[in-house]
Amino acid sequence: MHKVNFKIILSFLFLLLTNFIFSQKKFIVVLDAGHGGSDHGANRSYADIGRVAEKDVTLTITLKVGAMLEKNKDFKVIYTRKIDEYPSLSDRTNLANRSKADLFVSIHCNSSKRPTAYGTETYVQGPDQNDTNLEVAKRENDVIFLDEKDKQTFGSYDASSPESLIALKLQQSKYLESSLLLGGLVEDNFVNKDKRFSRGVFQKNLHVLRMNAMPSVLIETGFINHPEESHYLASEKGQEEISQSIYQAIIDYKKAIDRKSGISAVVKKPEPEKPAEVALKNDFRILLLSSPQKFNDGDPALKGLNYILPIKENGQYKYYYGVTNLASVRDINIRTAKDAGFRNAYAVGFMPNQKLNSGYYTIEVYVGDKLNGNSPVLQTLKDVDRNKENGVFYYTYGKVYTLEDAVKLQKEIEAKGIKNTIIQKVFK
């Protein structure tokens, strides 16, 4: 009698346990080996090792990462391709969306007109969907028009409709933060484990990132046209190291996500003491809102937040809150912004001291009626530029090429008593 009861209890416990284990949803990762088939991607021939083609390197690395993840029962891996074929970009994102994946990782190799360019970089969704249009898509996704299906998608994709803009923006702010987290982990692993040179984590409007309804990154594992790096990319050692680093980043990413949602607290023992936080490579500012209207410090539209840096771009004022290179502070800043009422606020990465490729920063020192010669602005500053648009006069001062220099210049002007100036990004 006693024995039977014990057995029943045991099997009941076992049932509970298996139920618990199987009810833990697998973490679905879509691995996307860039290019394939007739699309070779970047490629270059070397006398000693022959031709190195991006499509081959990306496939090998992808399969290695996949094999490592598949050994872990917490993960389910979906491949956009496992052989040398070309799924269209829409096929790749449709597959990811249909399978309700938790993560999309696209693996590529870089190339540059500059033969000296080298290092790794990771892309996440672009910061500004206003720029999203067919021209941008065409320019940045140079393989888009290889496929009839892609043509149809892009033919019907109307970036100027307000509905698709709003949907895109909401989608972005939700996934951008997670994508930045993974991007940072990937680059950290390349640097710390493999001693690679990281060019950083960047935002860019790329089709495979934009059309995914999940956190997504595109990893550029190195430059095919850089002789030394190309040899590394083609080597067994290089491919193994790169795969290990991407694998480790995905593992760390899932841990971080689980910690956030409290899963690890139930299943695992508390982690040993946390080491000191390592600074991120990028600075992060929280984008609160974009508006054609200029708000000065203390304006109710800014909801009582201080430390706001407005940057004018394409006639829109973008209001950024705080700046930090610590993930923990960045997360607190996002929280603060949301609590203040900016529900769609999200973190934007800025590479420190990054020079603009084209265009420059200037300081907008006055907007309004035409100033006369003895106004304080024109008395204080030499070589102020004047522009008239729709009957309004815009006065700007100075020309610098990094945001840091622009902030410095703005402070100098403020010190001279000219207040409420705005940093402006001018495109050429």
Min CB(157)–Zn ion separation in Å: 21
Q: Output 34 or 126, the one with its CB closest to Zn ion.
A: 34
Min CB(250)–Zn ion separation in Å: 20
Min CB(38)–Zn ion separation in Å: 14
Min CB(390)–Zn ion separation in Å: 43
Contact pick of 92, 108, 207, 226 for Zn ion (by CB under 5 A): 108
∠317-318-319 over CA atoms, to 5°? 115
Nearest to 54 by CA among 276, 217, 239, 311: 239
How many whole angstroms separate alpha carbon 181 and alpha carbon 256? 9
**Count of CB atoms within 10 A of residue 42's CB?**
23
| Close Cβ partners of 273 (under 8 Å, ≥ 6 residues apart) | none
- Among positions 144-163, residues that touch Zn ion (CB under 5 A) are none
Minimal CB distance to Zn ion: which residue? 108
Using CB under 5 A, which of the segments 104-112, 238-246, 327-335, 366-374 binds Zn ion? 104-112
Min CB(108)–Zn ion separation in Å: 3
Min CB(34)–Zn ion separation in Å: 4
- Among positions 15-34, residues that touch Zn ion (CB under 5 A) are 34
Nearest to 157 by CA among 205, 112, 195: 205
How many chain residues bind Zn ion (CB under 5 A)?
3
Using CB under 5 A, which of the segments 103-111, 183-191, 341-349, 389-397 binds Zn ion? 103-111
Q: Output 34 or 215, the one with its CB closest to Zn ion.
A: 34
How many whole angstroms separate alpha carbon 252 and alpha carbon 182? 8
Q: Output 199 or 312, the one with its CB closest to Zn ion.
A: 199
Min CB(56)–Zn ion separation in Å: 12
Min CB(107)–Zn ion separation in Å: 9
For helices 327-340 and 162-192, the axis angle rounded to 10 degrees is: 160
- Among positions 368-397, residues that touch Zn ion (CB under 5 A) are none
Min CB(66)–Zn ion separation in Å: 18
Using CB under 5 A, which of the segments 102-110, 130-138, 169-177, 248-256 binds Zn ion? 102-110
How many whole angstroms separate alpha carbon 193 and alpha carbon 195? 6
As given in the structure block, the two tokens for residue 207 are 């089709």
Min CB(241)–Zn ion separation in Å: 20
Q: Output 34 or 127, the one with its CB closest to Zn ion.
A: 34
How many whole angstroms separate alpha carbon 423 and alpha carbon 294? 12
Using CB under 5 A, which of the segments 85-93, 106-114, 241-249, 354-362 binds Zn ion? 106-114
Query: What Rg, from alpha-carbon coordinates, does the chain have?
Result: 25
- Among positions 32-51, residues that touch Zn ion (CB under 5 A) are 34, 41
As given in the structure block, the two tokens for residue 367 are 């907007």
Q: Is the dihedral of CA 189, 68, 66, 240 positive or negative?
A: positive
As given in the structure block, the two tokens for residue 54 are 């991006």
Q: Output 55 or 312, the one with its CB closest to Zn ion.
A: 55
Residue that is written with structure tokens 């040899």 in the block: 231
Q: Among the residues of 108-161, which ranges form H helices?
A: 134-140, 148-156
Using CB under 5 A, which of the segments 107-115, 296-304, 322-330, 346-354 binds Zn ion? 107-115
Sheet of 346-350, strand order: 346-350, 283-291, 316-324, 308-313, 422-426, 360-368, 392-400, 384-389
Using CB under 5 A, which of the segments 105-113, 205-213, 301-309, 379-387 binds Zn ion? 105-113
Residues facing 216 on adjacent strands: 104
User: What secondary structure does DSSP assign to 329-362, as a single string?
Assistant: HHHHHHHHHHHHT-TT-EEEEE-TTPPPSS-EEE
Q: Output 124 or 289, the one with its CB closest to Zn ion.
A: 124
Residue 35 near residue 144 (C-beta atoms within 8 A) = no
Q: Output 224 or 363, the one with its CB closest to Zn ion.
A: 224
Min CB(41)–Zn ion separation in Å: 4
Report if residue 222 touches Zn ion, rule: CB under 5 A: no
- In this structure, the strands spanning 392-400 and 384-389 are antiparallel
Q: Output 55 or 254, the one with its CB closest to Zn ion.
A: 55
Interface residues with Zn ion (CB under 5 A) are 34, 41, 108
